[in-house]
């Protein structure tokens, strides 16, 4: 099965009432529904898709100077995609960031779409593609990826295989 994961940050200032009254229910440049959006196509065929709630996620990696780190985060929602080749792709998201989720499967059962709506009022740390942590829970000794940095010159590399992001 092919899996697409969509993450959206919900704009807490969006007014559906204003959109309904003035713009036939549609968002406008001054009244946007989502602050940002990430899409991920899981590479390969997924044989098992799971969502673990209230899980512990262990972030392991290496700083640019070669020193390793490991930090555990509790109260995480972890999206797990077990691939036919035996590998695992994980998408860890702090449970406190999630407003809601939605799972849809295509009529032929060959595609799964999983949407995660994040609370836009929360400050988020995104250390690598597909991972979202609440900034206040992020360890001070770990670097934060610059949002303008497209995976180049990162201060550390994660050990998680993850997936490739697509537009």
- Residue 152: pLDDT above 80? no
Euclidean distance between CA atoms 46 and 65, whole angstroms = 35
| Count helices and strands in the chain by DSSP H and E runs | 1, 10
Task: Indicate whether this model's pTM tops 0.95.
Answer: no
Q: pLDDT tens digits for 106-138?
A: 999 899 999 999 998 899 999 999 999 999 999
- Percent of the chain's residues with pLDDT above 70: 87
């Amino acid at each position: 099965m092919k899996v697409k994961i969509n993450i959206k940050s919900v704009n807490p200032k969006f007014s559906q009432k204003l959109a309904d009254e003035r713009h036939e229910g549609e968002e406008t440049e001054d009244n946007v529904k989502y602050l940002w959006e990430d899409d991920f196509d899981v590479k390969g065929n997924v044989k098992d898709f799971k969502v673990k709630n209230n899980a512990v996620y262990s972030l392991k990696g290496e700083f640019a100077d070669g020193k390793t780190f490991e930090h555990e985060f509790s109260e995480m929602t972890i999206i797990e995609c077990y691939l036919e080749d035996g590998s695992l792709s994980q998408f860890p998201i702090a449970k406190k960031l999630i407003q809601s989720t939605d799972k849809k499967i295509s009529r032929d059962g060959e595609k799964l779409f999983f949407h995660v709506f994040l609370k836009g009022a929360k400050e988020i740390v995104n250390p690598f593609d597909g991972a979202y942590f609440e900034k206040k829970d992020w360890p001070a000794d770990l670097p934060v990826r610059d949002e303008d940095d497209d995976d180049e010159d990162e201060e550390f590399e994660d050990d998680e295989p993850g997936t490739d992001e697509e537009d």
